[in-house]
Amino acid sequence: MTAEYHQPIIGTLGFILSPDQDRVLMVHRNRRPDDDHYGKYNGLGGKMRFNEDVKSCLEREIREEAGLECLSMRLRGTINWTGFGPREESWLGFIFIIDRFSGTPPEENEEGRLEWVKIKRIPQLPMWEGDRCFIPLVFDDDPRPFHGYMPYDDNKMLSWSYSR
Protein backbone atom coordinates (compact mmCIF):
# COMPACT_ATOMS: atom_id res chain seq x y z
CA MET A 1 0.00 0.00 0.00
CA THR A 2 1.37 3.40 -0.94
CA ALA A 3 0.63 6.59 0.92
CA GLU A 4 -0.02 9.93 -0.71
CA TYR A 5 2.07 12.62 0.90
CA HIS A 6 1.03 16.23 0.96
CA GLN A 7 3.63 18.82 -0.10
CA PRO A 8 1.94 22.15 0.44
CA ILE A 9 3.14 25.73 0.19
CA ILE A 10 3.69 26.84 3.79
CA GLY A 11 2.41 30.27 4.66
CA THR A 12 1.54 32.58 7.50
CA LEU A 13 -1.45 34.82 8.05
CA GLY A 14 -1.41 37.47 10.76
CA PHE A 15 -4.22 39.55 12.20
CA ILE A 16 -2.75 42.61 13.92
CA LEU A 17 -4.89 43.93 16.77
CA SER A 18 -5.10 47.66 17.49
CA PRO A 19 -3.90 48.74 20.96
CA ASP A 20 -7.56 48.92 22.14
CA GLN A 21 -8.04 45.31 20.82
CA ASP A 22 -11.21 46.44 18.98
CA ARG A 23 -9.84 46.63 15.42
CA VAL A 24 -7.60 44.59 13.17
CA LEU A 25 -5.26 45.72 10.40
CA MET A 26 -6.37 44.27 7.08
CA VAL A 27 -5.26 44.75 3.50
CA HIS A 28 -7.83 45.47 0.81
CA ARG A 29 -6.19 43.79 -2.18
CA ASN A 30 -7.10 46.45 -4.74
CA ARG A 31 -3.80 47.42 -6.41
CA ARG A 32 -3.25 44.76 -9.07
CA PRO A 33 -6.15 43.44 -11.18
CA ASP A 34 -4.12 40.27 -11.93
CA ASP A 35 -3.89 39.46 -8.18
CA ASP A 36 -5.65 36.16 -7.31
CA HIS A 37 -7.07 37.95 -4.25
CA TYR A 38 -8.10 41.14 -6.11
CA GLY A 39 -10.93 43.01 -4.39
CA LYS A 40 -10.80 40.88 -1.25
CA TYR A 41 -9.79 41.76 2.30
CA ASN A 42 -7.30 39.66 4.19
CA GLY A 43 -4.86 39.64 7.06
CA LEU A 44 -1.16 40.09 6.32
CA GLY A 45 1.33 37.34 5.58
CA GLY A 46 2.70 35.15 2.87
CA LYS A 47 4.91 32.26 1.84
CA MET A 48 7.62 30.87 4.07
CA ARG A 49 11.13 30.97 2.64
CA PHE A 50 13.53 28.03 2.68
CA ASN A 51 15.66 29.44 5.53
CA GLU A 52 12.79 30.50 7.84
CA ASP A 53 10.67 29.08 10.60
CA VAL A 54 7.00 30.01 10.85
CA LYS A 55 7.54 32.77 13.42
CA SER A 56 10.34 34.48 11.49
CA CYS A 57 8.26 34.21 8.29
CA LEU A 58 5.36 36.05 9.91
CA GLU A 59 7.67 38.69 11.40
CA ARG A 60 9.28 39.31 7.99
CA GLU A 61 5.93 39.47 6.19
CA ILE A 62 4.49 41.95 8.72
CA ARG A 63 7.64 44.08 8.44
CA GLU A 64 7.48 44.02 4.61
CA GLU A 65 3.73 44.57 4.28
CA ALA A 66 3.04 46.98 7.16
CA GLY A 67 6.40 48.29 8.41
CA LEU A 68 5.65 46.93 11.89
CA GLU A 69 7.73 44.90 14.32
CA CYS A 70 5.85 42.11 16.08
CA LEU A 71 6.35 42.22 19.85
CA SER A 72 3.81 39.58 20.87
CA MET A 73 1.94 36.99 18.82
CA ARG A 74 -0.23 33.96 19.48
CA LEU A 75 -0.84 30.99 17.22
CA ARG A 76 -4.61 30.75 16.73
CA GLY A 77 -4.70 27.86 14.30
CA THR A 78 -3.59 26.02 11.21
CA ILE A 79 -5.48 25.28 8.01
CA ASN A 80 -4.78 22.81 5.23
CA TRP A 81 -6.19 24.39 2.04
CA THR A 82 -6.10 22.02 -0.94
CA GLY A 83 -6.93 23.02 -4.51
CA PHE A 84 -6.95 26.69 -3.54
CA GLY A 85 -7.16 29.57 -6.00
CA PRO A 86 -6.95 29.69 -9.78
CA ARG A 87 -3.77 27.55 -9.80
CA GLU A 88 -5.38 25.01 -7.43
CA GLU A 89 -2.43 25.08 -5.05
CA SER A 90 -2.22 23.30 -1.73
CA TRP A 91 -1.35 25.47 1.26
CA LEU A 92 -0.65 24.83 4.93
CA GLY A 93 -1.34 28.09 6.73
CA PHE A 94 -0.38 29.14 10.24
CA ILE A 95 -2.78 31.80 11.55
CA PHE A 96 -1.69 34.23 14.25
CA ILE A 97 -2.95 37.18 16.23
CA ILE A 98 -0.36 39.89 16.80
CA ASP A 99 -1.45 41.64 19.98
CA ARG A 100 1.53 43.96 20.45
CA PHE A 101 3.66 45.70 17.85
CA SER A 102 5.84 48.75 17.33
CA GLY A 103 5.70 51.18 14.44
CA THR A 104 3.04 52.86 12.36
CA PRO A 105 1.67 51.19 9.24
CA PRO A 106 1.51 53.11 5.95
CA GLU A 107 -1.86 53.77 4.31
CA GLU A 108 -1.13 51.21 1.61
CA ASN A 109 1.38 48.68 0.38
CA GLU A 110 2.06 47.08 -3.01
CA GLU A 111 -1.02 44.83 -2.62
CA GLY A 112 -3.53 47.49 -1.63
CA ARG A 113 -4.92 49.76 1.04
CA LEU A 114 -4.25 48.95 4.71
CA GLU A 115 -7.29 49.54 6.89
CA TRP A 116 -8.05 49.24 10.60
CA VAL A 117 -11.37 47.36 10.62
CA LYS A 118 -13.60 46.74 13.63
CA ILE A 119 -13.49 43.00 14.38
CA LYS A 120 -17.28 42.73 14.36
CA ARG A 121 -17.35 44.28 10.84
CA ILE A 122 -14.96 41.73 9.28
CA PRO A 123 -17.71 39.27 8.17
CA GLN A 124 -19.30 42.05 6.07
CA LEU A 125 -16.16 42.59 3.98
CA PRO A 126 -15.52 41.03 0.56
CA MET A 127 -13.33 37.97 1.20
CA TRP A 128 -12.84 34.35 0.24
CA GLU A 129 -15.93 32.33 1.16
CA GLY A 130 -13.87 30.05 3.39
CA ASP A 131 -12.47 32.94 5.44
CA ARG A 132 -15.94 33.41 6.95
CA CYS A 133 -15.63 29.90 8.44
CA PHE A 134 -12.33 30.28 10.29
CA ILE A 135 -12.14 33.99 11.15
CA PRO A 136 -14.59 33.66 14.08
CA LEU A 137 -12.21 31.05 15.56
CA VAL A 138 -9.29 33.48 15.30
CA PHE A 139 -11.07 36.01 17.52
CA ASP A 140 -13.01 33.77 19.92
CA ASP A 141 -12.19 33.31 23.62
CA ASP A 142 -11.11 29.66 23.38
CA PRO A 143 -7.34 29.64 24.06
CA ARG A 144 -6.81 26.36 22.20
CA PRO A 145 -5.57 26.61 18.60
CA PHE A 146 -7.84 25.18 15.92
CA HIS A 147 -6.63 22.87 13.14
CA GLY A 148 -8.73 22.86 10.01
CA TYR A 149 -9.10 21.32 6.61
CA MET A 150 -10.72 23.31 3.79
CA PRO A 151 -10.60 21.79 0.30
CA TYR A 152 -11.36 23.95 -2.74
CA ASP A 153 -12.30 23.08 -6.29
CA ASP A 154 -12.71 25.58 -9.13
CA ASN A 155 -12.30 28.51 -6.67
CA LYS A 156 -15.15 27.21 -4.49
CA MET A 157 -14.85 25.91 -0.96
CA LEU A 158 -16.08 22.30 -0.83
CA SER A 159 -16.20 21.79 2.93
CA TRP A 160 -14.80 22.91 6.27
CA SER A 161 -13.85 20.82 9.26
CA TYR A 162 -11.70 21.57 12.29
CA SER A 163 -10.76 20.32 15.70
CA ARG A 164 -9.22 21.82 18.82
Annotated domain spans of the chain: 9-163
Is this structure's pTM higher than 0.85?
yes
* Interval 2-22: pLDDT, tens: 557 778 999 999 999 999 999
* Average of per-residue pLDDT values in the chain: 93
Class of residue 107 by CB neighbours under 10 A (exposed 0-12, middle 13-18, buried 19+):
exposed
pLDDT band at 87 (very low <50, low <70, confident <90, very high): confident
Task: Kindly write down the DSSP assignment for every residue of 3-71, as one continuous string.
Answer: PPPP-PEEEEEEEEEPTTSSEEEEEE--S-TT-TTTT-EE-EEEEPPTT--HHHHHHHHHHHHH--EEE
> Rounded to 5 degrees, what angle do the CA atoms 2, 91, 113 make?
175
Q: What percent of the chain has pLDDT over 90?
A: 82
Q: Architecture of 9-163 per CATH? A: Alpha-Beta Complex (3.90)
* Interval 125-150: pLDDT, tens: 999 989 999 999 999 999 999 999 99
